[in-house]
Amino acid sequence: MNNPVRMPGYGASQTAQTDAGLRAHMLGVFRNMGIGLVITGLVAALVGNTPVLAAAIFGTPLKWVAIFAPLAFVFFFSFRIDKMTTAGARTAFYAFAAVMGVSLGSVFLVFTGGSIAQAFFSAAVMFLAMALWGYTTQRDLTKMGSFLMMGLIGIVVASLINIFIGSSAMAMVISIIGVVVFTGLTAWDVQRIKSEYFYYAGHEVAQKMQVMGALSLYLNFVNLFQMLLSLTGERE
């Protein structure tokens, strides 16, 4: 039987290629996420600091469209992603980021600029710390993910109910639990995205998975920011 001959350094070369591919994949995920956040921030600032736009949206029944449109967009995106091209998925994600920006424009009407900035930078530090841990840890976070997903479902249901109830105590509880859940989901999602790369590497769908990964991390960051702002924000 012929034994395959391995060239010196073959294993190291393969490992280096895999590591380089993973880094490029994760950079693609965070690049898409970052562009989405920039779009959201610009649109939110435009809406929140333009009285005519703010009044037209949040002073009329259109506010309900602004509130529920992002959620509807996420469901649409999740069900249609398989039929989209990579370019179509990326465009849809950026469109979603713009819609989310319209919804978040209301924070400029409620909270001071200083407290918005403080919540943003606090969310950024927490997000980056957990993303780094999720990327580097050898611990399997799968079980934690199941628990966090149950918490996420509870937060969504409770938040929808509280839109109509308007309980400040319930809002505080939701925000506290939300900070824990979205902080944990950041680490879990980063590890999941990293693992998925090894499964999809070399396939065309890998580019589309960058967009889906960016959407997951984007939602974690935006929700973490909102929860922190709700807890610590100084109102106008």
Q: Is residue 140 part of a domain?
A: yes
Number of domains in the chain: 1
Q: Is residue 93 part of a domain?
A: yes
Q: Is residue 122 part of a domain?
A: yes
Q: Is residue 1 part of a domain?
A: no
Q: Is residue 84 part of a domain?
A: yes
pLDDT of residue 123: 96
CA 92 to chain centre: 14
- Residue 135 domain boundaries: 12-232
Q: Is residue 67 part of a domain?
A: yes
pLDDT of residue 7: 44
Half-sphere exposure for 33 (CA within 13 Å, toward CB) = 25
- Quote the pTM value: 0.87
Distance, in Å, from the CA atom of 179 to the CA atom of 135, rounded to the nearest integer, reads: 20
Q: Is residue 3 part of a domain?
A: no
pLDDT in tens, the chain (236 residues): 445 444 455 455 556 666 778 888 899 999 999 999 999 999 999 998 898 988 888 888 888 888 788 888 888 877 887 788 888 889 999 999 999 999 999 899 899 989 999 999 999 999 999 999 999 998 988 888 888 989 999 998 998 898 888 888 898 999 999 999 999 999 999 999 998 888 776 666 778 889 999 999 999 999 999 999 999 878 87
